[in-house]
Structure 1
Amino acid sequence: MPRPDSNVVVSAFTEDQVVRLTGISISQLRYWDRTDFFRPSLAYEDRRAVHSRIYSFRDIVCLKVVNSIRNESSVPLPRLRAAKEKLRHLGDDLWAKTTLYVLNRRIVFFNPETDRKEDVETGQAILEIPLKVVSGDMATAVRALSNRPNTEIGQIERHRNVMSNQEVIAGTRIPVRSVKAFADAGYSVNAIQKEYPTLTEQDIRAAIKHAAA
């Protein structure tokens, strides 16, 4: 479990939430993780454990962009892999911080070193993908996840076949023990809410109290 750091704010999203926000299936997410195409920022070494893959807000923006390129522009995965290898020096969040273009199912990017758009293979370019719009839409979608019935706020539930029958915060798949782990690590209620933006303060206090009991 990470230690609290006032200079670092990370939003944590489960696989189920990522599926709802990006439209990418869990099997696809796990395949990309397993083949080192796209790994979640907060993943644990033991991927067999529950909640071993946790995605940041930056991750879901990147995934949304990648999924858009694949489905709307029909760019095949091998070319996406080639683009990632070409742009590896830009870091893991290259999909979100780089202005990307698509031409005939090829990936093109703006290279600040040469001050021109460069195709990974040919150098041609067209059709800018509006990443700022994607980020804004994703933020709106994240807020929508918080629109749960008042009867679920601050409640704990357990259902068969949901998160291996763990106790979770009602209306979510966030385990009570995960919230308690952050509290035990020294996180305040406000800090935990930054990690889990879909939870309310009432949810977090209820989880901590329930776990302590």
Structure 2
Amino acid sequence: MSAVVSNEEAIAATQLWLERAVIGLNLCPFAKGVHVRNQIRFVVSAAQTPEELLSDVLKELELLAETAREKIDTTLLIHPHVLTDFLDYNDFLEVVDAALEEVDLAGELQVASMHPQYQFADTEPDDISNYTNRSPYPTLHLIREVSIDEAVAAFPAAEMIFEKNIETMRKLGHEGWDALGLAEVQRHKK
């Protein structure tokens, strides 16, 4: 990424993507409730190295674990300056999972992945199904296990969300994605 991005720009782009794509296309049926109740913490990391980012991840995991759900239910840790290459980012996810174990938060919290170059295994880079996880900037989604359990219990056929999202994206296509007005938000995908 060549352009310098401010924290405000990163958060605004991520919020727009969340509202238009994640909530607007119902890619995550659980996102709207926490968004409407202002229970999503948006944080931009200034990290320039994976080590600095890991430190930020650990701080945010601790904060999330110690804060009441009514105040913060989930955190989007946006890191526009590090792990901009998807393969490096993907490898880093193993480090994050190991860190969750080390700080005894596995089973309480988990981390989901979103990236401008997100690519599922066995897909081509421009396959529209990859866009279900394509955020404006590399982002780690820190989630409470209890929130996931409650959402899944309340949502019929939760295991079908992934398939439904791919179907939604295929119906939408690249032209439909572009019509959402997220082209500027997704400018970092290549």
TM over 0.5: no
Normalising by structure 1, we get a TM-score of: 0.28
Larger Rg: 1
| Structure ranking higher in helix proportion | 2
Structure of higher RCO (CA pairs closer than 8 Å, 6+ residues apart): 2
